[in-house]
């Protein structure tokens, strides 16, 4: 097959995806995940942007994210929207025990025609989302999903990446000891566009919310806006409608300039990805092995000379 055949194939594949062929969509995601030959042709054949909302949902394990996501999907399905859910699963051996239930992500929406659910393993990368998450969400945009939910466990660096990817980042917390929020979840605090306080029927919920607000009052730099806080009991489907509305509202408030900056951020990450891939680790090890034998080996000088 020559390059123009590949491009034509990519175009007809995207046409099928746009028409709702989820089988081909799932296979195309796999092609991208595995960096199959010519996967970049698919991406370069993407045309324009369907105005999907990307919603990042993160929070510590046990905060009820999966139930919340299922509830949100329900809200949007009722409104005849198409919804995709990407569950990013840190595939650390240490998670096997704790997250076994999550790993085979259960959802009542699996077979619904408006819903597409896919788990992505991060494959042992410490923290982080998924090396091809931008590309996969772009493909879901091409498939004309109205909402693309990226659900991730707030561990390691995934929370940093999710805020770079999502139009709206939702951080799910549960009422608990107040000291904890200030410290452990500092990374989560900074990326939240919307806080969900889930399991809000717990007795200390109001105290927790007050505490959450105090933290933001204390932010003397004044850079951060007052956070949007939504109370939910996801298991009883309470607060989900309000959450869906707040997400929509937040998304509407993103202006053109912010969109350009977000696109530049995305490009920035894709460029870094490309440049990092350029460095072959084995080659580097061999080069270093040789260079170390030279008298007066200096790593900065080595890099300046070779890269």
Site residues for a copy of itself, 81-120, by CB under 8 A, read 90, 92-99
Q: Does 175 bind a copy of itself (CB under 8 A)?
A: no
Q: What share of the chain is helix, strand, coil (3-state, %, to 5)?
A: 50, 15, 35
Of 27, 123, 207, 268, which lies in the binding site for a copy of itself, with binding defined by CB under 8 A?
268
> Of the two residues 64 and 127, which places its CB atom closer to a copy of itself in the complex?
127
> Of the two residues 106 and 261, which places its CB atom closer to a copy of itself in the complex?
261
Answer yes or no: are the C-beta atoms of 224 and 239 closer than 8 Å. no
Q: Does 218 bind a copy of itself (CB under 8 A)?
A: yes
Looking at the DSSP assignment, which residues form a beta bridge with residue 112? none
> Of the two residues 62 and 108, which places its CB atom closer to a copy of itself in the complex?
62
Q: How far is the CB of 19 from a copy of itself (least distance, A)?
A: 20
Of 15, 219, 249, 253, which lies in the binding site for a copy of itself, with binding defined by CB under 8 A?
219
Of 15, 34, 78, 224, which lies in the binding site for a copy of itself, with binding defined by CB under 8 A?
224
Whole-number Å distance between alpha carbons of 302 and 210: 54
Closest CA to 141 of 240, 18, 223: 18
Residues 145-174 that bind a copy of itself (CB under 8 A): 153, 155-157, 159-160
Q: Does 61 bind a copy of itself (CB under 8 A)?
A: yes
Angle at 118 between CA 93 and CA 145, to 5 degrees: 150
Q: b/e per residue, 66-82, with b = 16+ CB within 10 A?
A: bbbbbbbbbbbbeeebb
Q: Does 36 bind a copy of itself (CB under 8 A)?
A: no
Angle at 113 between CA 152 and CA 13, to 5 degrees: 85
């Amino acid at each position: 097959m020559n390059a123009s055949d590949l491009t034509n194939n990519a175009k007809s594949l995207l046409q099928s995806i746009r028409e709702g062929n989820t089988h081909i969509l799932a296979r195309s995601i796999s092609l991208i995940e595995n960096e199959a030959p010519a996967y970049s042709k698919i991406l370069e054949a993407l045309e324009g942007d369907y105005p999907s909302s990307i919603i990042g949902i993160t929070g510590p394990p046990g905060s009820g994210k999966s139930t919340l996501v299922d509830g949100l999907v329900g809200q949007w399905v009722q409104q005849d929207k198409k919804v995709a859910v990407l569950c990013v699963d840190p595939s650390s051996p240490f998670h096997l025990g704790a997250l076994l239930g999550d790993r085979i992500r259960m959802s009542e929406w699996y077979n619904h025609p408006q819903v597409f659910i896919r788990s992505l393993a991060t494959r042992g990368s410490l923290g982080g989302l998924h090396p091809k998450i931008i590309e996969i969400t772009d493909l879901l945009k091409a498939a004309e999903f109205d909402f693309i939910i990226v659900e991730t466990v707030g561990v390691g660096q995934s929370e940093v990446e999710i805020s770079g990817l999502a139009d709206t980042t939702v951080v799910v917390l549960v009422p608990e000891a107040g000291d904890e929020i200030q410290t452990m979840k500092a990374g989560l605090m900074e990326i939240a566009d919307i806080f969900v306080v889930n399991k809000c029927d717990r007795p200390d919920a109001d105290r927790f919310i007050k505490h959450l607000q105090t933290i933001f009052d204390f932010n003397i730099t004044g850079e951060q806006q007052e956070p949007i806080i939504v109370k939910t009991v996801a298991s009883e489907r309470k607060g989900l409608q309000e959450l869906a509305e707040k997400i929509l509202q937040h998304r509407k408030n993103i202006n053109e300039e912010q969109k350009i900056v977000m696109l530049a951020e995305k490009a920035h990450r894709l460029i870094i990805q490309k440049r990092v891939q350029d460095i072959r680790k084995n080659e580097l090890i061999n080069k270093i092995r040789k260079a170390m034998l030279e008298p007066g080996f200096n790593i900065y000088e080595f890099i300046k000379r070779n890269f």
